[in-house]
Structure 1
Amino acid sequence: MAWLRGQIASIEARLARPVGARADRREGLVRGYGSRAEWHAKSRRLYALRERLARLEADWAAGRVHVVRGGKPLARLRHHLDQAGLEERAWQERWQAARMFLAADGESGKRLGNETIRITGTGQVSIRLPAALAHLANAPHGRYVLDATAVFRHRGEEWLDRISANRSVAYRIHHDVPRGRWYVTACWQRTPAPVLPLEAALAQGVVAVDMNDDHLAAWHLDNHGNPVGDPRRFFYDLTGSTQHRDAQIRHALTRLLHYARRCGAAAIAIEDLDFTDGKSREKYGRNKRFRRLISRFPTARLKARLVAMAAEQSIAIVAVDPAYTSRWGAQHWQQPLTTTKRKTTRHDAAAVAIGRRALGHPIRRRTAPPRNDRSDRYGHRTAQAGPETRRREEPRPRIPGPRTRCVPPGGGAKAGDQRAQHRSEHAAEREASQQASLRLSP
């Protein structure tokens, strides 16, 4: 009735305006219809809407509600069974199946996203029975487990991501009589993921991840690029069937997201890896083991699944350039981060390099200052480049000669001028020894 009243008011306002009249916001006037034919059609629709509104108001006043549970087409089909080619028993089965269904809305935070109808990742369906039917339960906590398993062919991976994060999923179980099957429908509402600026996402640090063949090496870095706590490793097994590999990847990524939430980080840094051009035999020859390792490495699946699961947790993903992360991480961070109680691997050091690159910090560390017995004291140091320096991530060019501030023999600004050399009885020496007379009195 509210919708009909709104439609009637809108049509009446436009019919009251002349044909082709423009809208006037200052006066609060709407525009008129474009042609006389459109004005005539809308006037006829106005009378139809008024008639519908009058019937609805009469039913509302009398307390009559026209609801056919199961659908009006199926109810009308009862009077035309001969035309539909159905018997009365077949129609009765359809009628009962359409009126018999079980539905439950989901709730975020509950286990697997729904407390009433719960479906696990393996497809096991269980129903929470009400108190009056608690004696029929065949599982703990008043639940009834069905014998059949549910399989979602369409968007099954997205559904698994939601139940892994305990996000709300609504279910509806119904019976299809013509096919003789039971179906369960899962539905959810997608919330648009907010796009955070890079500075805001990295304000609380980042969890850097180094992807490997059998595990994910992760380390939490603060906004200054310093490792916090101990490294974490999330193992998975990529052998076996496709379903087994997919489950292993999902379980590892779920633990990674939980670790990021515990650390308080709002971003995860990963490498933008792509082995598309590295799987051919022409590149690696007969090294079948290495080619098989690269071929089964799930770079695209890991990135796609991590982005989808992180969006449900409101965690940003930062992809960085993978160049020299493993080499420079092992060179500059593996030994300093290794202690008697913590063994830092090459993959953990690579995770630190990935995190520092995502935060905008250089990967290479400063070298130790020289000893006190050197000529320049603490002045000489191999300083790292600033964030604004171009080509700072490339290897440093090798500068021949001694790395000191003193000028080597024959290497000064006037190396080619023999007159500038300090030799005995040379013009340069004689000119240097001459001094002007000082005036002692005014």
Structure 2
Amino acid sequence: MTTRQPNAGLERLYRESGWTLRQFAQEVNRLGTERGTPLKYQQPPVHQWLSGHLPKDAVRPLILEALARRLLRPVTHAEAGFPSPEGSSSHPTTVEGLVDLGRQDMDPSRRSVLGAGLFSVALTVPGWPDVVGRMEARERNPKLRIGKSEVSAVRAMTERLSDLDDDFGGRYARPMAAAFLVNTVTPYLNADASSETRNSMLSAAAFLCYLTGWMAVDEGAHGRAQQYYVKALELAGAGGDHNTYCHVLRGMSVQAANLGHGTPAARLANAAAEAAPESTPRMRAFMAGQQAHAYALAGEKTNALTSLREAERAVNQAESQLGTFGGFSSATLAYSTAEVRHALGDARGSVDSLHDHFRHRDSSDMQRSKLIFSSLLAERQLQIGHLEAACSTWTSVLDEYPAIHSGRIDGQVRKISSLLSPYRRNSLARQTAERAISLTGK
């Protein structure tokens, strides 16, 4: 009879974490809920893992992610004493991986399964030198040749998909974006083309891939969004599109910040700013505003305020120019200021800045962000004791909510009833909560 050997690797990581067995189990359970597969582990199973019992396949990624978030660094299967996952030796090319990713995403009926991917704070992000100008050698399709018109078509279609996403939410637009990626764009990446056209198509594909990832974020499929983002980085590098590469990194920081992961958000925002190929006021505002929010979430107050002042200066310098990079405007700056203030504990100041945001908005701003930011305003109005103002703001959200199909807004509307539950004796609060329940069923 053999004796099971303790898992020395996992034991080492556990000691480094400083957790109790109960805390370890709670973190794994929390990530299970985040992934959409609730778990109910307690101390005994954790003790068994440390003693050498192998956790279930589906649980191992949760254990690694929990440790990575605690230790603020990647944790591998080998380091934790786990066998490598099946198929881990296979490395599909960028195009093959994009096809597989898009095909899985084209069927809305599979969305609940695909949305179960877990957001990784320790995701390996390819640096610009690692991807610039690189693309795997592949067989060209001599029967298909593309030129500027095909590139223009992809860019135009991306704009239309972006408009649909802005107006109606990612749930409707993402299957269309994935189908367009798989059926039209990836064949173009294998087509015969001049060097200039090929790079332009890679750039167009990169931004479409980024947009599809942005839609996945809106739907709450955060692990899947990260997969799209990494593909977008690879395509942007292959096409030599430095601006899109930095844009995607910043988007990844926004995703991390919205999930409350301040340190990874700051790391990604700094990487985007450091890799930026230009230093115009537009670009500086776009990058510094996100750095400020990320720093605030990470508890770095001085850096947050310094970055916010830099964003303010850059916006003032860019206001006289036509447009701003990434749509960063006075309205965006006010929202960034609101997020920085809230992260630093100034809820009242955050409310004032959100009011500033809405004063600066214009017809070019998207409907979805209006509802998201209005929901945040209502929550913070309630936080500072302005119950009637909060209910009024929520009422405006509920008036327009049925037309938007956004996972993020769904989540915010579902919270209304619980947030107002202490105020049920107030007729306005009760009516607002009941209306939210009638629209969401929760």
Normalised TM-score (structure 1): 0.20
Structure ranking higher on relative contact order (CA contacts 8 Å, 6+ apart): 2
* Structure with bigger gyration radius: 1
In the superposition, the TM-score normalised over structure 2's length comes to: 0.20
Identify, as 1 or 2, the structure richer in strand.
1
